């Protein structure tokens, strides 16, 4: 390899390092907020962003409940988090967001066993195709509908422990999301071209839900925040077609944030003091950000709330 080629490689390597540290990695949450005496519940806290978030909050002294489907994977994560944080108050409770009966059973068990809930982090998410145990689109149910129900069932506990917070992990892909009340809850039957649509729809629903939740919580000292974690190398796409993985895996390792960096805005929304006045708003890179215009429609947010209640049987 001649000197010109080596120089070109060195330039590319330098450019990549500059891009990574200035754009890809993202900022860190630097506050020193203590969470001693606080209880945090994180859905999907056994891997990826959720695990990184759980570790940070455990280091701050919180009692951290990991709400996960797999006991074995959760217990492995708990072992790591306890060892790295020095905090033994990290526990597992089973929750399957693809089954509404599991959500209800979880909430009942949580309220019977845990006297506090100070921070609820609706973190778990999937990007897949299929039908839930309740007949809904799997992505829509896991990412939006089950979290809607979980928050509804735990809201009195959050109010009792106020000031408290609800943190909703959304995504910048809400920009291409659509709220189609005729079809968004039905099992996805599209093709490759629209493969990302159900996920994008659910992330738009996350932001609209957070907006309406803040309106309904006004005056309660319970605040809520939606966020974009960055484009993160997690297990979110573990269910994609096998032929897509050789494309996605190298790209993920090279250009996506790792889970620790991806967790920073979640941690910020859960711990930063002084952001209460921004309840219902959207954050990215540890700062307030304006979402796409369709995520700011209060009328659609209210309609989505009523639509979700009806699907869940919470209203006639």
Give the separation between CA 170 and CA 199, rounded to whole angstroms.
10
Q: At what angle do helices 197-217 and 146-160 cross, to 10 degrees?
A: 20
Neighbours of 82 (CB within 10 A): 17
Let me know the angle formed at the C-alpha of 23 by 22 and 28, rounded to the nearest 5 degrees.
75
Between the alpha carbon of residue 109 and those of residues 116, 128, 154, 208, the distances in Å are: 13, 28, 11, 29
Between the alpha carbon of residue 257 and those of residues 24, 122, 176, 204, 267, the distances in Å are: 6, 20, 21, 22, 15
Catalytic residue among 20, 21, 199, 282: 199
Per DSSP, the three-state class of 91 is strand
Quick check: is 199 catalytic? yes
Give the separation between CA 87 and CA 66, rounded to whole angstroms.
14
Handedness of CA 30, 215, 165, 26 (dihedral sign): negative
Strands in the chain per DSSP E: 39-43, 63-68, 90-94, 119-122, 164-169, 222-228, 282-284, 287-289
Give the separation between CA 57 and CA 222, rounded to whole angstroms.
19
Give the separation between CA 184 and CA 175, rounded to whole angstroms.
16
| Burial (CB count within 10 angstroms: exposed 0-12, middle 13-18, buried 19+), residue 180 | exposed
> Could you list the active site residues?
199
């Amino acid at each position: 390899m001649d000197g010109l080629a080596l120089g070109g490689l060195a330039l590319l390597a330098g450019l990549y390092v500059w891009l990574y540290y200035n754009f890809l990695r993202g900022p860190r949450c630097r506050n020193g907020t203590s969470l001693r005496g606080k209880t945090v519940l994180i859905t999907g806290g056994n891997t990826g962003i959720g695990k990184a978030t759980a570790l940070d909050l455990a280091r701050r002294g919180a009692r951290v409940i990991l709400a996960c489907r797999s006991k074995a994977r959760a217990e492995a994560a708990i072992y790591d988090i306890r060892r790295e944080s020095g905090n033994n108050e990290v526990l597992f409770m089973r929750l399957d967001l693809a089954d509404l009966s599991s959500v209800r059973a979880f909430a009942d068990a949580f309220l019977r066993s845990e006297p506090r809930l100070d921070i609820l982090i609706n973190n778990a998410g999937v990007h897949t195709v299929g039908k839930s145990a309740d007949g809904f689109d799997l992505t829509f149910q896991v990412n939006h509908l089950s979290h809607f129900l979980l928050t509804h069932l735990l809201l009195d506990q959050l109010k009792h422990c106020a000031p408290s917070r609800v943190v909703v992990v959304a995504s910048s892909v809400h920009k291409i999301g659509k709220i189609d009340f005729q079809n968004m809850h039905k099992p996805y039957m599209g093709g490759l071209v629209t493969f990302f649509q159900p996920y994008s729809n659910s992330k738009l629903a996350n932001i609209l839900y957070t907006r309406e939740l803040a309106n309904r919580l006004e005056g309660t000292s319970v605040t809520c925040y939606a966020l974009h974690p960055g484009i993160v190398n997690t297990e979110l796409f573990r269910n994609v077609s096998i032929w897509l993985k050789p494309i996605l895996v190298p790209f993920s390792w090279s250009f996506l944030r790792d889970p620790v960096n991806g967790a920073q805005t979640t941690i910020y929304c859960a711990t930063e003091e002084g952001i209460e006045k921004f309840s219902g708003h959207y954050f990215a890179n540890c700062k307030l950000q304006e979402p796409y215009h369709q995520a700011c429609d209060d009328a659609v947010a209210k309609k989505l709330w009523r639509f979700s209640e009806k699907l869940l049987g919470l209203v006639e």
